Every structure is written in structure tokens, then in C-alpha cells.
Structure 1
């Protein structure tokens, strides 16, 4: 299968080798399981250049389930209640994580009827055009009620100056404001702070070398 993560000389803990290509699994900080909280109200039209999805948050129950957890969050916006275990089986998730955004897109489309596509940001930093493409894709998906699932790596700083670091992780984009310049993250590995705002350019660079499902 096409792998989304193309760095050939990484030794980051938790990454796995596949066919000579480093695959980007869902390796995240440990997170205790929490019960799903009520679906967030969609804030469509609540402000200028602002739109959100209704979704149900649920934390990942272990360090390698961020792929299934993020997929579940995305599907909850469609009114679909699917267990993380069922999604992990379909995604091929192991203790090494979930291989790539292509797997996330494949499973999302199994439940939604081909509504999602995968976009890669292949280099180590996003170009201006890739940032704009991400902004457009987030706006299009969220406008249609679809949370985006992003495969990220490394460290990014949110708008409050808080750094979030992962050796590989999946998380969701569930809302945007400022015409898409600022996006709301729903992070399944962070039940204590499940949502935080981030500049879209910072998110694009967090995704760089991997990809996203929108």
C-alpha cells in the first residue's frame, strides 16, 4: 500500500518500517479512557467566517488507539456510533499504531459512502500552497459537517502558547473561525484539555511529511 510518511532516516520511537518506507502510525501520549461527552452543538453561521461540526468526543483508551479514536470522533458527526475496537480492527491498528491517513480515509469511506479523500504534505515543511489547500479542505469538510482527521508528528504550539508534542498521532479538526485561519482541534489523547485552537499554518507544518483525511 502507498504509505503517507516518506522520511527514510528517522529513528523516532514508535515508528515502524514497511517496505523500505517509514510509515506514520498513531503513537501518542498515554491517555486514560473517558466516557463520551454530549455532542458539541454545530455553530454554523454563529459568526463571520466561522463554522463548526456537531460531534461526540471520546478519548483513546491506550497509547496506540488515536487512529480509531479520531475515526470514531469523525463518524460521530455523521450520527454513527462505532466502537474504537471495531474501527481498530478495520484500520489494522496494532501496538505500533495505525499506518497512515490512507487507512483512515478508507475506513471513513466504508461508513460514509466515499465522502473523504486523503491529501499528503510530503515534505518536512508545508508550502504556502499546501497551507492554503489545507485551509480550503478544512472549510469544505466542516461546512459539510465532516471533521477532518489529521496525521501529525512533532511539536506544535496552540494559540494560547501551549506546546503539544507527539512522536506520531491522529487528531481531529472540528471547527474553524477567521475564515479558516484558526482551527479547533479535538485531541483524543488529551481528555483533560480535549479542544484547543491552532493557526492553520502551524497545523499544516504539524502534518508535514504525513497527511490528512477531509
Structure 2
């Protein structure tokens, strides 16, 4: 019995003699987080890109007008081309070039793309940055509301719950419904064929 007693005591003795030099894991992000942001509805029908970028920037304390962002985004009456544009302009405004573009090129998102979106949203929002998503088609929010943009639309993601399984959308299209919650799986399918800046 003596050897097993000494061997059970040895791990702590060994740890003291051999300090752990492995890198410490980053603290786990909170299971939910919402950013403070200043909502603004888009000022015309084709300014969803500038409005989404503007709403996202406001969460980092950067105030820009939709008009000031429309030029750099290349926004025309046809809208804003892609998430590549929103990523570029977000990085022009936010120190450190933290934004990356992720595309979900097929007509529906894969489980891996859903997981990546969830991780990207949690990481960005945990670091105080909103995500900008280029969406197309329709989605039903957690209250049963239907949001349809067959020609495409841009929204900001300004919060998450349930470890990122639910996301809060800041939508510039309808000032009477400035934000709503959707599942991250539904958001991934809504982004499908397009991309997002996180």
C-alpha cells in the first residue's frame, strides 16, 4: 500500500519540481455578449452595406456617416459588391486589420461553415467587434418574424447568446425592427452564396 500512496502524492511533487511551461489557454469567452452600438437605419434603398458597416463600427466607438462609407465601399444603386469590400473598409477604420472575409460559396452552408461562423462571431464580439454579413434570401427570426432579401442585403451581427448558437442581428432595413435574434445555423444558410467580415 505504501508505493501506491507515494505514487498518488508524486504528481504534485513532480509539478513543483518541473514547472509547467506550456502556453496558458486563452480565457474562455463569455457564453453570451452584446455590444453597445448606435443603430441607424439605411438612408436609402441601396445603402444597406454602408449602414451595416456604420452600425458595426459604432460598436467599436468609431462614428462614420453612411455617405462617408459608401464611396470606399464602392456602393452604387446596385448595392455593395461583396464581403471583400466590407472587410477592406472595416480594416481601413479599425486599428490592426482585425477583419477577415469568409465566404460560404455554395447555396447552403456545411456544418463546418456553421461551426466556423459561430467561432468567428464569438471571437469578434468577445473582442468588441461586430460582424458584417452579406445575406441573400430569407430567414425567420426566433420570434417568428420573416426577413426576406432576395436580391441580397447586409446586416451587422452585434451580439450572441448560448455560446454563439444564437446571434443578434442589427438590420438597417426597417427602423421599426432594428434588431432581432436568429440561430447561427440559419444565419449561415442566409449568408450562403455570399460571405461575411469577422
Give the TM-score band, short-chain normalised.
0.7 to 0.9
Deviations 1:51-97 (A, max 9, x none): 11111100001110000001111111121111110100111100000
Alignment equivalent of 1:162, drawn from 132, 145, 170: 145
Counterpart of 1:111 in structure 2 is 93
Alignment of 1:1-214 (within 5 A): 49-113=31-95, 114-166=97-149, 167-214=151-198
Runs of 4+ in 1 over 4 A off after TM superposition: none
CA distance in 2, matches of 1:75, 1:184: 16
CA distance in 2, matches of 1:78, 1:50: 18
Query: Where in structure 2 are there 5+ consecutive unaligned residues?
Result: 1-29
Is 1:60–1:66's contact at 8 Å kept on the other side of the alignment?
Answer: yes
Deviations 1:77-133 (A, max 9, x none): 121111110100111100000000000000010011311110000100000000000
**How high is the TM-score relative to the length of structure 2?**
0.83
**How high is the TM-score relative to the length of structure 1?**
0.77
Find the structure with the greater CA-based Rg.
Answer: 2
1:186 is displaced (CA, Å) by 0.4
Aligned residues, how many? 167
Deviations 1:175-200 (A, max 9, x none): 00011111110001121011101010
CA distance in 2, matches of 1:198, 1:91: 26
CA distance in 2, matches of 1:57, 1:144: 19
Q: Secondary structure at the match of 2:173?
A: coil
Deviations 1:124-144 (A, max 9, x none): 000000000000000000000
1:163 is displaced (CA, Å) by 1.0
Counterpart of 1:3 in structure 2 is none
CA distance in 2, matches of 1:183, 1:80: 22
Is 1:52–1:145's contact at 8 Å kept on the other side of the alignment?
Answer: no
CA distance in 1, matches of 2:171, 2:117: 18
